[in-house]
Amino acid sequence: MENLKRRHIAPDVQPSTSPPVYQAYDASTSLYDNYGDEKHKFSKSLPPQQRRVYSSNKYIAFCQKYERALIPAALTLLAFWTRFRNIGVSNIVVWDEAHFGKFGSHYLKHEFYFDVHPPLGKMLVGLSGWLAGYNGSFGFESGHKYPDNVNYTAMRIFNAFWGSLLVPLAYLTARQFKMSQRASILAATMVLLDTAYLCISRFILLDSMLMFFTCLSLYCMSVFNNCKNEAFSEKWWLWLSSTGFSLGCVLSVKWVGLFVIALVGINTVEELWEMLGDLQMPKKTYAAHWMARILCLICLPAAVYLFSFAMHFAVLYRSGPGDAQMSSLFQARLAGNSFDRNPLELAYGSKLTIKNYGYGGGLLHSHVQTFPEGSKQQQVTCYHYKDDNNHWIVRPPRLISDPSEYEPEDGSIRFVKDGDTVRLMHSSTGRNLHSHPLAAPITSGQWEVSAYGNETVGDIQDNWKVEIVDDLTYKDKERVRSLTTRFRLRHTQLNCLLAANNVVLPQWGFKQIEVTCDKRNRESDPHTWWNVEEHYNDKLPAAPKNAYKSKFLHDFWHLNVAMWTSNNALIPDPDKEDILSSTPSEWPLASVGLRMCGWGDDIIKYYLLGNPAVWWPSFAALLIFLATTGFYLTRMQRKIFDLSNAQWDSFLYVGKTLFLGWFLHYIPFYIMGRVTYLHHYFPALYFSILMVPFLLEHFTANTSNRTRWIVFGAAYATVILVFIYFAPVAYGMSGPISKYKGRHWLKSWNLVDN
């Protein structure tokens, strides 16, 4: 037990037996300010400081007394000024405003849409439009001018507000990491004057909200870590739950939030592991720590995430452009669709659309274009949007002895039942759904599915057997019903199942989903299940009211899988040059910029480019931290202790947290198959920015106060001067771009060159 208590004490040093004397803590100093003071060298608490002496000038004294509130307030006002200044000077739709402004419009019109990101950020965009008096009528087409009735300036200010809050958050987080005022203000200044952060905050985008909740999560975690000695107090619970709430929010804006969740998770596991080694902690208390973290860091974020989708479904109650991504039962609850007129039971002669039941599945589709290889017959795909090429007609099968059995001459109806054989004729082209023993174009291990022949030309390979899986509403599985019945289509000759496994076709297939006949016969695979969505038959009555209902959790899961599938489909197109995309290796040193609009002389031009005085030192700081940590560890192995235990614990905790935050937000992009852009680096950049003042303070800890001010003053001056020079790229460049060729520092920037 005694060894456990002393495990942090350096060799040959005895802890003081006299009680520590605490004095007023001077917020202008840090843990390193008494770096060489032997009296406090091995104390784990903050070093005692001299009592503050206030100025005789009442105004200065007031500022000294309330500096904890005044400094963040001043930084916030500066952030507002930089972010709001001339924010409406460009009256055209800039870059991804074309996407997120349009999504905000859907909320105002209550129209259901589909996007690869969770809904919270886009709901906030919709809120900004509502606050600005916008009615959702504008199309947000890229490069188009905003009409007079769209207060785009107010909408941009709303988004810039979130970006402004990064500045005080950077200061407050640095203070929680026990950095001095000058170091904390430098961190805030670097965030304030980074041209990339400034530029992207000034438009109707999600990045400012994503960055805010990411930074808020780090701040809440750092405050909670400083409450370790107050376990289960009100303050402890407040900051633990605040961390969980902010994690839920960042995940609800973009899935990049999973990276900061991983950071908090690693920090939590490490903390619980250390507690496990405390033999004095009762098991009941240790279990309570586990339960508290499960409740606040798992259940609470999950609840926030679920609630964002519940709000999403509640607000978007009308049929819209994203209907086809959802299950047919979900679409039935949307106002304005035709599903309430669907006949309930499917019959021969019915015209219908058929939806794949697999998550992210689309509508069975065909068009006049043919496969470039294989059979070279008409393409059959799955398509996520509604058009006339999704319509099929249920016809009697080929080679039957009595056609009147399926279409009685007396005009009566024959319903499609479990085990029936059908032929599906494409309504627009008259071709029949067909398969044959030829390899599919992409999934070559399965058979190709095509559209072939017509009403009179065809063969037995046009026949498909209906196999009912189940019915989501009715217990009776005898007949196929619209929306609720899930069924398989088995090819009668090849004994394979019609399937769509979310494999994306190349450009010749218009990036639609490949449809195959699956030889593996995986009957439990939802990608081989289908259901009738739209159903037209003048001989049948509409279904009764309330015949179609969906469940929230099923809809939630379905939408998330569809989002995941579509996100993975955002891969670079080898046949198309994308001048906006970039690779992760180009980000840390600001080797690439991004043109956010047209580059003509007659428009305001914005170039998304980081401040070199911020980005370059930030990346260098990460490498220096690794080298420094390795240096200290090597010397420790040789029993040489350059730092006291308190100083080493602080150095390792802060540096490890910031480096791990950068690593988790950056390295995963190397293994992602999707297309990447410069703004994907912004969350990682924040962690590396905080590393700069942290290391500056660490390396100047043994120097005089004058030397520290010289070092920090040089850092301040460099960041400010370079920002002033590069500010036009964020505030807008007017006239010929050649006026700004002096800012073309790197050849890899396409600021001036075409």
pLDDT digits (tens, 9 = 90+) for 351-381: 999 999 887 788 999 999 999 999 999 999 9
Q: At residue 10, does pLDDT exceed 50?
A: no
* φ, ψ dihedrals at 644, nearest 5°: -70, 170
Cβ atoms of 23 and 50 within 8 Å: the answer is: yes
What's the pLDDT score for residue 599? Answer: 92
Q: Is the pLDDT of residue 640 over 70?
A: yes
Report, as an integer, the average pLDDT of 124-129. 97
Co-location of 355 and 285 in the same domain: no
Average of per-residue pLDDT across 6-31: 39
The answer to the question of residue 650 being in a domain is no
The Cα 440–Cα 374 span in angstroms is 8
Q: Check residue 212 and give its pLDDT.
A: 98
Q: Say yes or no: 430 and 464 in one domain.
A: yes
In the chain, the percentage of residues whose pLDDT exceeds 70 is: 92
Are 312 and 98 spatial neighbours (Cβ–Cβ below 8 Å)? no
3-state secondary structure at position 395? strand
Residue 254 lies in a domain: yes
Query: Does the pLDDT at position 161 exceed 80?
Result: yes
- pLDDT band, residue 405 (cuts 50/70/90): confident
Question: Measured between alpha carbons, how far is 485 from 343 in angstroms, rounded to an integer?
Answer: 13
If one counts every other C-beta atom within 10 angstroms of the C-beta of residue 15, the result is 12
Residues 166-223 have pLDDT tens digits of: 999 999 999 999 999 999 999 999 999 999 999 999 999 999 999 999 999 999 999 9
Dihedral sign, Cα of residue 192, residue 197, residue 199, residue 201? negative
Q: How far apart, in Å, are the Cα atoms of 178 and each of 33, 660, 711?
A: 11, 18, 19
β-bridge partners, 481:
345
pLDDT digits (tens, 9 = 90+) for 648-673: 999 999 999 999 999 999 999 999 88
User: In angstroms, rounded to a whole number, what is the distance separating the alpha carbons of residues 425 and 454?
Assistant: 8
> Does the pLDDT at position 13 exceed 50?
no
Residue 218: which residues within 8 A CB-CB, separation 6 or more?
A: 173, 260, 263, 657, 661, 686, 687
93 within domain boundaries: no
Sorted by sequence, the CB contacts under 8 Å of residue 130 that are 6+ apart come out as: 108
Q: Could you tell me the two tokens for 37?
A: 């003071």
- 447 strand-pairing partners: 439, 517
Q: What are the angstrom distances between the C-alpha of 686 and each of 190, 310, 338, 622, 683?
A: 9, 31, 49, 12, 5
Name residue 99's amino acid.
Answer: H
Using pLDDT thresholds of 50, 70 and 90, give the confidence band for residue 60.
confident
Residues 406 and 503 in one domain: yes
Q: How confident is the model at residue 425 (pLDDT cuts 50, 70, 90)?
A: very high
Our count of domains for the chain comes to 2
Which residue do the tokens 């950068």 mark?
Answer: 662
Assign 574 a pLDDT band (cuts: 50, 70, 90): low
User: Do 562 and 492 share a domain, yes or no?
Assistant: yes
Asked if pLDDT for residue 412 goes beyond 90, the answer is no
Same domain, 429 and 489: yes
Non-local (6+) Cβ contacts of 488 within 8 A are: 466, 467, 469, 497, 498, 523, 528, 529, 530
Tell me: pLDDT of 601 over 70: yes
- The verdict on 298 and 341 lying in the same domain is no
Residue 258 shares a structural domain with residue 363:
no
30 pLDDT band (50/70/90 cuts)? low
Residue 506 pLDDT class (50, 70, 90 cuts) = very high
Q: Integer distance in angstroms from the first to the last C-alpha of the chain?
A: 70
Q: What is the DSSP letter of 663?
A: H
DSSP state of 299: I
Name the residue with higher pLDDT: 49 or 683: 683
**pLDDT reported for residue 50:** 52
Total residues belonging to the chain:
754
What percentage of the chain reaches a pLDDT higher than 90? 76
Assign residue 453 the CATH number of its domain.
Answer: 2.80.10.50
Of 624, 618, 623, which is closest to residue 698 (Cα–Cα)? 624
Does 61 reside within a domain? Answer: no
pLDDT above 90 (res 291): yes
pLDDT for 24:
34
Q: Specify whether 279 is located in the same domain as 388.
A: no
pLDDT band at 304 (very low <50, low <70, confident <90, very high): very high
Residue 628 has pLDDT above 80, yes or no: yes
Residue 385: predicted pLDDT? 86
Tokens of 476: 């009776």
DSSP-based three-state secondary structure for 335: strand
**Is 668 a member of any domain?**
no
Q: Does position 147 have pLDDT exceeding 70, yes or no? A: yes
> Do 384 and 480 fall into the same domain?
yes
pLDDT, mean over the chain: 89
Task: Say if residue 547's pLDDT is above 80.
Answer: no
Q: Is the pLDDT of residue 43 over 70?
A: no
Supply the range of the domain harboring residue 405. Answer: 330-568
- Please, what sign has the CA dihedral across residues 295, 300, 301, 307? positive
pLDDT score of 12 more than 50:
no
Confidence of residue 576 (pLDDT cuts 50, 70, 90): low
pTM above 0.95, yes or no: no
Q: Which residues contact 547 (CB under 8 A, 6 or more apart)?
A: 344, 473, 484
Structure confidence by residue, pLDDT tens digits, 687-715: 999 999 999 999 999 999 999 999 999 99
Give the type of residue at 287.
A
Domain stop point among 568, 599, 628: 568
**pLDDT category of residue 329 using cuts at 50, 70 and 90:** confident
Both tokens assigned to 607: 């170039």
Q: Which of 357, 705, 704 is nearest to 525 (CA)?
A: 357
Whether 235 and 335 map to the same domain: the answer is: no
Q: Quickly count: other Cβ atoms within 10 Å of residue 703's Cβ.
A: 12
Q: Which residue, of 258, 273, 308, is where some domain finishes?
A: 308
Q: CB within 8 A of 600, min separation 6: which ones? A: none
Tell me, what's the pLDDT at 34? 44
- Mapping DSSP to helix (H, G, I), strand (E, B) and coil, where does residue 683 land? helix
In this prediction, residue 5 has a pLDDT band, given cuts at 50, 70 and 90, of very low
What span, in angstroms and rounded, lies between the C-alpha atoms of 748 and 259? 29
Question: Distance (Å, rounded) from C-alpha 315 to C-alpha 337?
Answer: 16
Task: Please say if the pLDDT value at position 9 is more than 60.
Answer: no
Q: Are 485 and 532 in contact (CB under 8 A)?
A: yes
Comparing 40-49, 53-62, 562-571, the range with the smallest average pLDDT is 40-49
Residue 22 has pLDDT above 90, yes or no: no
Least confident among 153-162, 555-564, 611-620, 623-632: 555-564
- Domain-ending residue, one of 535, 568, 601: 568
**414 located within any domain:** yes
Tell me, yes or no, whether 264 lies in a domain: yes
CA distance 197 to 739: 23
Residue with tokens 């614990």: 649
Tell me what the mean pLDDT of segment 67-77 comes to: 94
Q: DSSP strand E in 398-529: where?
A: 421-426, 432-439, 447-452, 464-471, 485-491, 497-499, 513-514, 516-518
What is the average pLDDT across 296-303? 97
Statement to judge: residues 556 and 417 lie in one domain = yes
Asked if residues 451 and 426 have their Cβ atoms less than 8 Å apart, the reply is yes
- Is there a contact between 707 and 632 (Cβ–Cβ < 8 Å)? no
Task: Return d(Cα 365, Cα 380) in angstroms, integer.
Answer: 6
344 and 302 part of one domain: no
